[in-house]
C-alpha cells in the first residue's frame, strides 16, 4: 500500500510516471495516437485507500473531459498533497500553460518542483513573485530553494523584502538565520533566531538551529536545552499560508484525516474532530490500526458520548493485544490506550476500572505524566488521599513543571495532615 506523506519532505515516495505518448514522435504531448488527452498519474493498482483512489480517478476524468486550468490545478493539488510531486508538477505546468498570469499556479508549480528540480522551482517562485509581490510564503519558500542552490545573496534579498512586508513574521527571521548558518556565520544567525522565538516561542526549527549555534560556540548546556525544546515543539508550527491551507483540505488520506482531527481536538472542536475521525473507522477495521480509535474516542468524550467512547477504546485495546502476539502498536501507543480508558472510566464513575487501566499505563511507562496525574486525581476524587499522595510523590521528578500536579499534591498533603492523629 502507498503511504501518503505530507509535502515538504525530500523523502517523498515517487510513484512511477505515466509516459507521455507522442504520435510518430511529433504533435502535442497532451494527446495519444487516437487524439485522446493523456493525463499524468501514478499507478493506483495497489493503492489501498479506496476513498483517495476514487477522488483521483474522478479528477482525472474531469481533466480528460474538460482540460481547464482549474481542473488541471485541482488534480495537481490532489497529487501534491498526497505525496506525488512529479505528477503534481506535470499538472501545474498544464495550468500554467493555460493561465500563465495566475499567481497560484506559478506558486504551486514552484512548491511541487521544490521536491525534484531546484532550478525550476526557483524560476517558478520568481515568476510568481512577479505576478504578486505581496505573498510572503513565496519569498520564504523561494529563499530556501536559493539557499539550497548556494545563491545566498539572492536568498537574503527575498527575505529582506519579506521582512519589509511583515516585520513580525518569525519564519522570515528563521529564513535569515538559516541563510547565515549556510554561510557558516553562527554569530550572525543567533539574533535572528532569538527574534524568531520572541515572535513564536514554540517554533521548533528555531530551537533546533539555536542548539546548533550554541554547540558550535561551545555552550553545551544551552545547546541541550534548545535541542530538547526542538524535539518537543518541532511538529507544532507551520507558516501561515492561506493557499496551502486551502489545498490541505483536499487531503483525504488517513494521514490528513488524523492531522485535521488532532488539530480540531486540540482546538476543542469536538464535533469537527469526530467528523474527521469517523471517516477513519472503517479503514481502521480493515488495516488493524487501533490508534485511529483514540482520536475518535477523544472526540466522543468531548461531546459527552461516554459509553460510545468506552466501547471504541475497548475495541482498540483488543486489537492491540492480539492473541497471536503480533500487536500493530508500539508499547507507547498501548500505554496511550490504557490512559484514555482510565480517563473514560473515571468520567463514568467506574473508579476501580479507571485505576486498573491507569496503573497498567504506568507499568508500561513509569515516566508517563498523564497516567500519573490522572491516577492521582482518581484516588483524590475517591477520597483515597494516601494513595494519591504516594502516586504524586513517586512521580514528582517526571511531574516537574506540571502546575496542576503541584497544586494537587499541596492539597492532598494539607488534607492528609488534617486527618492524621
Separation between Cα atoms, residue 77 and residue 244, nearest integer Å: 9
pLDDT string in tens for the chain (421-residue length): 333 444 443 333 223 223 222 222 223 345 444 445 788 888 888 887 888 999 999 999 999 998 899 999 999 999 999 999 999 999 999 999 999 999 999 999 999 999 889 999 999 999 999 999 999 999 999 999 998 998 989 999 999 999 999 999 999 999 889 888 888 899 988 999 989 888 888 888 888 888 888 888 888 888 888 887 776 654 456 788 999 999 988 998 888 888 888 888 888 999 999 998 888 776 644 444 556 677 888 888 889 898 888 888 887 777 666 655 555 667 777 888 888 888 888 887 888 999 999 998 888 888 888 888 889 889 888 888 888 888 888 887 777 767 788 888 888 888 877 766 5
The set of residues, in sequence order, having a beta carbon less than 8 Å from that of 150 and lying 6+ positions away, is none
Burial class (CB in 10 A: 0-12, 13-18, 19+), 326: exposed
Separation between Cα atoms, residue 192 and residue 209, nearest integer Å: 10
Radius of gyration in angstroms for the set of CA atoms belonging to the chain, rounded to a whole number = 26
Give the CB-side neighbour count of residue 345, counting CA atoms within 13 A.
20
Q: Which residue(s) pair with 31 in the sheet?
A: 37
Separation between Cα atoms, residue 304 and residue 302, nearest integer Å: 5
DSSP 267-313: TT-HHHHHHHHHTTHHHHHHHT-THHHHHHHHHHHHTT-HHHHHHHH
Q: Cα-flanking dihedrals φ and ψ of residue 399, to 5°?
A: -95, 5
**CB 162 within 8 Å of CB 172:** yes
Residue 47: its H or E element? none
Separation between Cα atoms, residue 405 and residue 411, nearest integer Å: 10
How far lies 224's CA from each of 186, 214, 404, in Å? 17, 9, 26
Separation between Cα atoms, residue 389 and residue 379, nearest integer Å: 9
DSSP 251: -
The three grid cell numbers given for residue 274, joined into one nine-digit string: 469526530
The three grid cell numbers given for residue 268, joined into one nine-digit string: 476543542
Q: Tell me the domains of the chain and their CATH numbers.
A: 23-233 (1.25.40.10), 247-419 (1.25.40.10)
Amino acid at each position: 500500500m502507498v503511504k501518503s506523506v505530507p509535502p515538504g519532505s525530500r523523502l517523498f515516495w515517487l510513484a512511477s510516471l505515466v509516459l507521455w505518448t507522442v504520435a510518430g514522435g511529433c504533435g502535442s504531448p497532451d494527446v495519444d495516437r487516437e487524439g485522446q488527452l493523456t493525463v499524468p498519474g501514478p499507478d493506483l493498482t495497489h493503492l489501498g485507500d479506496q476513498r483517495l483512489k476514487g477522488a483521483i480517478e474522478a479528477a482525472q476524468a474531469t481533466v480528460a473531459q474538460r482540460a481547464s486550468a482549474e481542473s488541471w490545478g485541482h488534480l495537481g493539488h490532489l497529487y501534491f498533497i498526497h505525496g506525488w510531486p512529479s505528477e503534481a508538477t506535470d499538472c501545474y505546468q498544464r495550468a500554467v500553460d493555460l493561465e500563465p498570469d495566475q499567481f497560484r499556479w506559478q506558486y504551486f508549480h514552484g512548491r511541487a518542483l521544490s521536491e525534484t528540480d531546484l532550478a525550476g522551482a526557483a524560476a517558478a517562485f520568481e515568476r510568481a513573485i512577479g505576478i504578486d509581490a505581496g505573498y510572503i510564503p513565496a519569498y520564504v519558500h523561494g529563499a530556501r530553494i536559493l539557499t539550497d542552490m548556494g545563491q545566498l545573496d539572492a536568498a537574503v534579498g527575498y527575505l529582506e523584502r519579506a521582512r519589509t512586508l511583515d516585520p513580525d513574521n518569525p519564519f522570515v527571521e528563521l529564513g535569515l538565520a538559516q541563510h547565515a548558518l549556510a554561510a557558516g556565520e553562527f554569530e550572525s544567525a543567533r539574533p535572528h533566531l532569538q527574534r524568531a522565538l520572541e515572535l513564536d516561542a514554540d517554533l521548533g526549527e528555531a530551537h533546533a538551529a539555536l542548539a546548533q549555534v550554541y554547540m558550535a560556540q561551545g555552550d553545551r548546556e544551552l545547546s541541550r536545552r534548545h535541542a530538547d525544546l526542538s524535539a518537543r515543539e518541532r511538529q507544532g508550527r507551520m507558516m501561515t499560508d492561506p493557499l496551502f491551507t486551502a489545498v490541505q483540505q483536499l487531503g483525504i488520506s488517513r494521514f490528513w484525516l488524523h492531522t485535521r482531527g488532532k488539530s480540531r481536538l486540540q482546538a476543542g472542536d469536538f464535533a469537527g474532530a469526530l467528523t474527521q475521525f469517523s471517516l477513519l473507522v472503517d479503514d481502521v477495521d480493515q488495516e488493524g490500526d487501533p490508534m485511529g480509535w483514540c482520536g475518535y474516542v477523544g472526540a466522543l468524550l468531548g461531546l459527552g458520548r461516554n459509553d460510545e467512547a468506552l466501547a471504541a477504546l475497548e475495541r482498540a485495546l483488543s486489537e492491540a493485544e492480539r492473541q497471536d502476539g503480533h500487536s500493530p502498536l508500539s508499547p507507547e501507543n498501548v500505554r496511550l490506550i490504557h490512559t484514555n480508558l482510565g480517563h473514560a472510566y473515571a468520567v463514568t464513575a467506574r473508579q476501580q476500572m479507571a485505576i486498573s487501566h491507569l496503573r497498567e499505563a504506568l507499568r508500561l511507562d513509569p515516566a508517563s505524566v498523564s497516567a500519573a496525574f490522572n491516577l492521582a486525581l482518581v484516588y483524590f476524587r475517591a477520597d483515597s488521599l494516601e494513595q494519591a499522595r504516594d502516586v504524586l510523590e513517586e512521580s514528582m521528578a517526571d511531574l516537574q513543571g506540571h502546575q496542576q500536579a503541584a497544586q494537587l499534591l499541596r492539597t492532598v498533603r494539607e488534607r492528609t495532615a488534617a486527618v492524621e492523629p
